[in-house]
Amino acid sequence: MPTLTEAAVRSQLQAVIDPEIHRPITDLDMVRSVAIEGGTVVVGIDLTTAGCPLRDTIVRDVRARVGELPGVTAVEVELGVMTDEQKSALRTKLRGGTPEPVIPFAQPGSLTRVYAVTSGKGGVGKSSVTANLAAAFAARGLKVGVVDADIYGFSIPRMLGVTTPPVKLDDMIVPPVAHGVKVISIGMFTAPGTPVIWRGPMLHRAVQQFLGDVFWGDLDILLLDLPPGTGDVAISVAQFLPNSEILVVTTPQVAAAEVAQRAGIISAQTRQHVAGVIENMSWLETPEGRLDVFGSGGGQQVATALSEGLGYDVPLLAQVPLDIALRAGGDEGTPVVLDAPDSPAARALLGVADLLASRARGLAGRHLGIVPR
């Protein structure tokens, strides 16, 4: 019987294909180690992200391929996670060694104010807030762009009524425009009803392309609709756009508010500024008065906690009531701030747009044009 060697094991692992990137895991430097103890082979695999949805497929294929070798009696797979340096090297390899694209909003001379709209939990109306703020800014004559960075749960194209696809000019993508807002979303590149099953490097690259490969022109405001939580996309946005500010969306419910605090407190680590908190679904107007369907006080709780935790004032920008016109506008692709500007929800969101549009941009990171003599 031939001797079982590490080289033989690694040769077998070349046949294990990453189910997402479609390249051998050996080429992607995912094989951390190979140890042989008698007939037992222990393979160390570094995943690109801890929550890899296809980890079971990789483990199964590693066991199957290595188990084909003569003399193997057992295969153990020890999973780890790539470091930031490993992920960076992998992204460079996937790009074929080409340099990172230039992101105009991250340049020192950029005058675009960037807001990343985030939440702790899904279903709190983050995308509705993003779409309506974008439309409100555009209606005020500002040049506005929206990046639908919620890769798994994209909904911005429907909410803004985008009906035309982006146009590709060589290596540049020209985004479609709806209600005066330039929009880009992964939903414009996938078949209807098709889920997106991506991990760390692919998510990172998608955000990078949306920011660097899309022709945005000269924007006054860029909004990013982030997925809920503090995962890969939120971290990538902080890396690509260190001067971006965070808008935290929550509902009055205590459970949602507690999770939303974590979505805001990440800014202490990413060194972003939290511009404020928006409480959505605050109450329902009835003939008998206001009905607190989801409780009360969650938005102020988040604003107070973030102010104390971050060391500066984080305001509660608005309380947006439950409003059928808001829901209907999102389904029909016409934001409520345009279709029913006098409705309760529209007035609250228009107030937020007025506050954010009037804020002065700080000088941090900007080139002042002063040259010493």
Question: Tens of pLDDT along 312-330?
Answer: 999 999 999 999 999 999 9
- Same domain (yes/no): 176, 303: yes
Which range (160-174, 186-200, 236-250) has the least confidence?
Answer: 186-200
Q: pLDDT-based confidence at 361, cuts 50/70/90?
A: low
Domain-located, residue 364: no
Please report which confidence band the pLDDT of residue 183 belongs to, taking 50, 70 and 90 as the band edges.
very high
pLDDT band at 352 (very low <50, low <70, confident <90, very high): very high
> Most confidently modeled of 59-68, 264-273, 350-359?
59-68
Q: Is residue 219 part of a domain?
A: yes
Is there a domain that residue 365 lies in? no
> What's the whole-number average pLDDT of the chain?
86
Is the same domain home to 116 and 256?
A: yes
Lowest mean pLDDT among 96-105, 259-268, 271-280, 310-319: 96-105
Do 148 and 269 fall into the same domain? yes
Q: What is the pLDDT of residue 40?
A: 94
| Judgement on whether residues 165 and 55 belong to the same structural domain of the protein | no
Interval 135-166: pLDDT, tens: 999 999 999 999 998 877 788 999 999 988 88
Instruction: Convert the pLDDT of each residue in 58-77 to its tens digit.
Output: 999 999 999 999 999 999 99
User: What pLDDT digit, counting tens, does each position of 7-50 carry?
Assistant: 999 999 999 998 767 789 999 899 999 999 989 999 999 987 77
Q: Are residues 67 and 116 in the same domain?
A: no
Considering the domain architecture, whether residues 38 and 125 belong to the same structural domain is answered as: no
pLDDT of amino acid 232: 73
- Decide if 20 is inside a domain: yes
The reply to whether 369 falls in a domain is no
Q: Print the SS3 string covering the chain.
A: CCCCCHHHHHHHHCCCECCCCCCECCCCCCEEEEEEECCEEEEEEEECCCCCCCHHHHHHHHHHHHHCCCCCCEEEEEEEECCHHHHHHHHHHHCCCCCCCCCHHHCCCCCCEEEEEECCCCCCCHHHHHHHHHHHHHHCCCCEEEEECCCCCCCHHHHCCCCCCCEEECCEEECCEECCEEEEEHHHCCCCCCCCCCCHHHHHHHHHHHHHCECCCCCCEEEEECCCCCCHHHHHHHHHCCCCEEEEEECCCHHHHHHHHHHHHCHHHHCCEEEEEEEECCCEEECCEEECCCCCCHHHHHHHHHHHHHCCCCCEEEEECCCHHHHHHHHHCCCHHHHCCCCHHHHHHHHHHHHHHCCCCCCCCCCCCCCCC
Asked whether the predicted pLDDT for residue 366 surpasses 50, the reply is no
In a domain, 295, yes or no: yes
Are 61 and 152 part of one and the same domain? Answer: no
Q: Do both 47 and 143 map to the same domain? A: no
Q: What residues make up the domain containing 278?
A: 105-357
Could you read off the pLDDT of 269-306 as tens digits, one per residue? 788 899 999 999 999 988 888 999 988 999 999 999 99
**Domains: count for the chain:** 2
**Does 80 share its domain with 219?**
no
223 pLDDT more than 90 = yes
Tell whether 81 and 187 lie within a shared domain.
Answer: no
Percentage of the chain exceeding pLDDT 70: 87
Same domain, 86 and 161: no
Q: What is the predicted pLDDT for the residue at 367?
A: 46
Decide if pLDDT at 341 tops 50.
yes
83 against 229, higher pLDDT: 83
Do residues 212 and 342 share a domain? Answer: yes
Q: What is the pLDDT of residue 218?
A: 87
Mean pLDDT over 215-244 rounds to 85
pLDDT, average across residues 92-111: 76
pLDDT: is 3 or 182 the higher one?
A: 182
**What confidence tier does 171 reach under pLDDT thresholds 50, 70, 90?**
low
